[in-house]
Structure 1
Amino acid sequence: MASYLVVEPETETGDAAEKAVVLRDGFSFFAFLAPVIWFLVHRMWWEALAALALALALAALGTVAGYSAAAFIVSLCVSFLIGMEAQSWRVASLQRRGWHVWGVVEANSKDEAEIRYAAESASGPQYVRTSQRPAAAPPPVPWGSAGNPVAQRRHSTFGLIDYPRKS
């Protein structure tokens, strides 16, 4: 089963479920092959500009004597990185436009993911709005305090397991 991320727009009319986007979490082969075109298709203008500038810089590096192999390898690695992270960058782009992540759906296909999302979304939203902040975490316990069990040890441990020792 694959994981699909559901992203909904912020709407006040209540039709967010109809406009939701279901994205497969994983490698994007088209983003690997043609990253600039993939970014432009998904209206990610700044990312497309950055990918184009990087591609042109690597192409210029490839024309320098002795750096052609290095430029090819770096270009291949950058394309692989873009293919791996393309969907998460798309989610980040949608979040900058006011969308929010509804949740993750596991399914065998995109159609099945949309059906599962429709069934789940009928029960209400499954997300925490970004305007609501979670409660602050308690402050960390100082290492030298009496309540810290690590500070109460008398012997140092060099291995993974510290057996109780007789004092």
Structure 2
Amino acid sequence: MAIYVVMQPPRDRVDADEVYVRDGFHVLGFLLPLVWLLWNRLWIETLVLLAVMLGLGILGETSGTAEMLVGGFTLLVSIYVGLEGSALRLWALRRRGYAEWGVVDADNRADAETRYLSAQPDEIEAGPRPLPPIRQGVVPADTRGGNEPELGLFGYPGRN
């Protein structure tokens, strides 16, 4: 089973849906990190990746002996995007105002959506339920005694 992080849209965007982000390794993010970042609309992360890749390319061109080192750094950047792609996506969604609802264990996105919707209350926008009024001087019936010494892990109310 995979773990999906459910992100709820900001309240001012009524047309937006929840976003389900799968936690785990992203193969396409490892093989084609630039394409994966653009596909997921991670613009700032794409610009940072381009700057790092261009810097590594310039480093490889200026120093002829560092080709293996530049190749290793490029591989490390690809591994980072594959491993931390979901965290980058969550970070971008938080910047856009999305709030984290929680996590859902599911086999695929459709199951994650079903589990999320089944956990939602039936009443939509009903607001919080009001608390009962506080009545002064009324002692609940189940708090008899309470000051007797107890032996063991559990106390037995009503036993002397």
TM-score normalised according to structure 1 size: 0.67
CA offset at residue 61 of structure 1? 2.1
Larger Rg: 2
Equivalent residue letter for 2:5: L
The runs of at least 4 consecutive aligned structure 1 residues that moved more than 4 Å come to 12-16
Other-structure match for 1:43 = 41
CA deviation profile, 1:101-154 (whole Å, cap 9, x unmatched): 110000112111111011112368xxxxxxxxxxxxxxxxxxxxxxxxxxxxxx
Other-structure match for 1:79 = 78
Other-structure match for 1:24 = 22
Distance 1:13 1:122, change over 3 A: farther
CA offset at residue 75 of structure 1? 0.8
Unaligned runs of 5+ in 1: 125-167
1:44-63 matched pairs, under 5 angstroms: 44-63=42-61
Other-structure match for 1:11 = 11
Size of the aligned set, in residue pairs, is 123
Other-structure match for 1:145 = none
Other-structure match for 1:65 = 64
Report if the CA contact (8 A) 1:36-1:49 is conserved. Answer: no
1:103-122 matched pairs, under 5 angstroms: 103-122=102-121
CA offset at residue 97 of structure 1? 0.7
TM-score normalised according to structure 2 size: 0.70
Other-structure match for 1:34 = 32
Equivalent residue letter for 1:7: M
Unaligned runs of 5+ in 2: 124-160
Equivalent residue letter for 1:10: P
CA distance in 2, matches of 1:88, 1:8: 16
CA deviation profile, 1:1-21 (whole Å, cap 9, x unmatched): 1111111101258776xx001
Distance 1:110 1:85, change over 3 A: same
